[in-house]
Amino acid sequence: MAGSEVKGIGGYIEHHLHNNTYELVPGSAFWTVHLDSLVYTLITGLVFVLLFRSVAKKATSDVPGKMQNFIELIIGFINEQVKDTFKGESKMVAPLALTIFVWVFLMNFMDLIPVDVLPALGQAVGIEYMRVVPSTDLNITFGLALGVMLLVFYYSIVIKSPLGYVKELLTHPFAIDNMFAQALIAPFNLLLNIVETLAKPVSLALRLFGNLYSGELIFMLIAVFTLDYAVTELFTTLGGPVMGISQFVLTFMWAVFHILIITLQAYIFMMLSLVYLNMAHEVHDAH
């Protein structure tokens, strides 16, 4: 459990939703690092790199093993999505899409680990708070989204030229042949493009965060519903076995459904990133 000092459903959930933080500037909430989110983000990234590197080193043109088949299936799937979505030319986009999909999936997959296992191990070594799902932390999801947007800005400037990118911001989506009329409508085009640009990372980050955060809460509610907290008093006459079976059944049912959610969210994050990168490579006739 989260600790013997944590009492009640509210205390249990609050404890699990509290990050292990480090204040870079004492007393400042802004300059605070979520150590657990960073550590598990790096761990999942390292797992991705080591796994794919290991399979690549052992890859054979003869009869491949199950792991090689699985990795090739993922790579083939990502390549098809890139071909269908991205119309520009860049050797980096396909590897980027693969990295986004697998890395986000692995971060999401941490949600399938029983909610009390890793926090309990952390408490055993003196770590009071621990959140193990990086994608339930807005700092991580916004960091990923901003990373994608930096690439979008980079390609927009490189492919269209700085002047061409500024011209696009002023002349789209409403383009008029008359130069005077276009100058009048340019501020509205700029405003719409600013709103659209800001909405892209926000939608990327909040969609991933919201879905995984709600999934994490459901696992916690299942735990407090079936373990030794206020709600479980309803089961005291039936004994511990019923509580254990109830938790196993409910957790298993939600976990099976949640596998679809975590995969879908990784796929959506990857596809939207590809769409935004493709838009950055599009050059309009007006340029």
DSSP annotation of 102 reads H
Q: Are 134 and 140 in contact (CB under 8 A)?
A: yes
- Compute the Cα dihedral for 128, 42, 152, 204 and give only its sign: negative
Which residues touch 287 (CB under 8 Å, ≥6 apart)?
160, 164, 167, 168
Polymer length of the chain = 287
Decide: helix, strand or coil at residue 61.
Answer: coil
Query: Which residue carries 């989110």 as its tokens?
Result: 37
- Provide φ and ψ at 21, rounded to 5°: -110, 160
| Residue of 19, 156, 211, 278 marked catalytic | 211
203 part of the active site: yes
- Compute the Cα dihedral for 70, 73, 79, 84 and give only its sign: negative
Tokens read off for 212? 């995984």
| Residue of 207, 214, 246, 278 marked catalytic | 207
211 part of the active site: yes
207 part of the active site: yes
Rg from Cα positions in the chain: 24
Catalytic residues, by residue number, are 203, 207, 211
